Every structure is written in structure tokens, then in C-alpha cells.
Chains A and B, each alone.
Chain A
Amino acid sequence: MKKNVLVIAGMLSVCLVYGQRDDTVVTKSMEEITSDNFQDQLKKDNQVEEIKNRKQRLIKISPIYLVLAADRTKAIVPAISYERQIKPDLTWILTAYGPASHVHDLFDDLEFLPGLAGGVRYYYNINDRLMKGKAVDKFSANYFGAMIGFQNEIGLLNLMWGMQRKLGSSFYIDWNAGFQNDFSVLDPGSGSILFNNYYIVIGLQTGLAF
């Protein structure tokens, strides 16, 4: 930081020897300087403090969760997720889905298709964001993730890249894009599984986060 700080005013030579214990010498001095990055440094320090005290889990309630794919576009209302830190940049996540509907029939053709999915996320730029003084709480960073789940007796396998950001103090937005495979368990006894073709899917959810 020294290189960014230019001393322009003479030192106000207030040196007060106010305490001495054994061979400890304590002095205080005061000076006035100009800084061209004070605000940035202060912001960064407050972000560091925030991550030190960061909660290691996140509960997300999404009133609407849009899943966009070629012929499988649907809206899920609502979705509830629980995300927990394994390491500073690695989390596991569990999502419970509520009723689902095809978007063109939204709310007219709502089916109760409860589902559950779980997976892991690796937030690859969380440290870079921290060092740049950007928000990192509520797992606000970019990620690679893998999810596996079931909905309406169909298995879902999803590999994705995504971005999650906090909005204000209580809200969040999370969107991701990746490849999904809807697979079917043909015979639970023998464990034979039918994998279909992978297709591109985009997920978007926003809502409350705490």
C-alpha cells in the first residue's frame, strides 16, 4: 500500500510516550496523508470481515424456478434449497421441488410433481472476488456444479456452470446453464438404467435467501 500513499503534509509530530512496562515502549504518532485507494481498501477490509463471519449455510426459497430447455421448458413453484459449505469454495446443495407446470400452460395445468435433487458446487472465483473487495457472502460467485435428482419418477442428471449473487441483504439470484439427462430406472432390482440424450438446459431462480 505504501506505493499508493503519498505523504503531502508534514508529520504532526505528536509523539506521546504514555506507557512503559519492562522494556516495552509505546508511542503514538499522527500524520496526514493523501491516498488514492483508501475507499477501495476500506471496502476490501469490510468484505474480508464479512467472509470471516460468513454463515456456512444458506437457505433459499424461490417462488418460481424456471427451467428452460428445447421442449421441456417448465416452471416449478416453489423450490426450496439448502446449501452448506464443505470447504470455503465447495458446497453441497439439496433442493426440493414443488408443483411443476409447462410454461405455456403456467398455472392452468399445474401438476404436483414433487422432486428432490442434490449435488455439489465448486465456486472457482470466490477468492478473486474477495481480494477485489466484491461481495462473497451467500455464496456469491461463479460455479461449476453437478446435480442428480428425481421428479415424477424421472431421474435428472445435470452438469452445469452458473452464477449466484446476493441481491440486497435478503434476496438472491442464481442462474446456470449446462447439460441434462433425463434417465429412467428400468428395473430397480437389477439396477438397469436407461440414459437418454443429453440436452442443453438453463435454470433461473430468484427469491429469498437467509
Chain B
Amino acid sequence: MKEEKKELLEVHYGKEQLYNWHCGPYWSKFLAEIRDNEKIYGIKCPKCGRVYMPPRSVCGRCFTEMNEWVELGNEGVIDGFTVVKFPYINPSTGEMKNIPFTSVWIRLDGADTCLIHYLDEKDEEKIEVGMRVKAVFREDKKGDLYYDIKHFKIADRFKYD
């Protein structure tokens, strides 16, 4: 019997719908303070004392409302990092990410949790867990965490730039 040749089709879709994400009062204040004053704020749980960054209304561990805003440093310590070298799509834009980039987990001075942001150093040999880093702000700002803070820089090199 002659085997029938199978044609297997693939249908491509490119565009998805757009989303509007609501920040709510806590994230709004957090982003506005960065935009207007170059200040990064956390929020303290009245029960366990943890300082959360980004701030949010409820401490998940204690299930307690939080209202005590704490100004954090614009510097902190690298908790962990990776230099991303594989290609993938940024799901928020539909565009390919620019690689390589360094994703760095920073415990800002005064915070108990980490901010995940860019580090401008892309050579893993030159980055170490425990290094101090400092935020680099843009002149023009628009309330976008990953625009207003351009990236972080290794702090002890910062003064030589």
C-alpha cells in the first residue's frame, strides 16, 4: 500500500492584546518617590519588623497591614546575580531581549528583601556576591522602575567614573 504523504500545518499568531496594570497606592508611591526624589522606599511590618521592598499593603507572613514607610539607601549589597546569555522574548513588549545582560539581586541598605535589577557589568568574572552596588538614575524620569533607575553600578568603581 502506498503511504499517504502527510502535510502538517502550523498557523502563526504574532500579536496579543495589550494590558494595563494597576499599581495601587503602595507601588504608586514607591515609583513616584524614585521618579521625583530619587529615593527608594520600603515598608515595615509592625508585627515581625521586616522591611519589604517593593512595598506592599500586607505582610504575607503576618497577614498584617503595613503603613510605616522606610527610606532605604540607594546602595546595597549583591545577594545573587546571573549574566543572561540566551535569547528570549520580553513578554511585556513582544521584542527580543538585548543579551547579554546582568540580572542582579540587591539587598538595599535597610531592606530585608531584594530588588531585582540590571547591573552594568556583564563579565561574570568581575562580579561577586557581597559586592556593594549603587543605583544610577536617569535625568528624565517617568515612573518606570527599569527606566528611571538605568542600572546599578559596582559602588567602589562608581567614584572613579
Q: Do A and B truly interact?
A: no
Question: A residues near B, CB below 8 A?
Answer: none
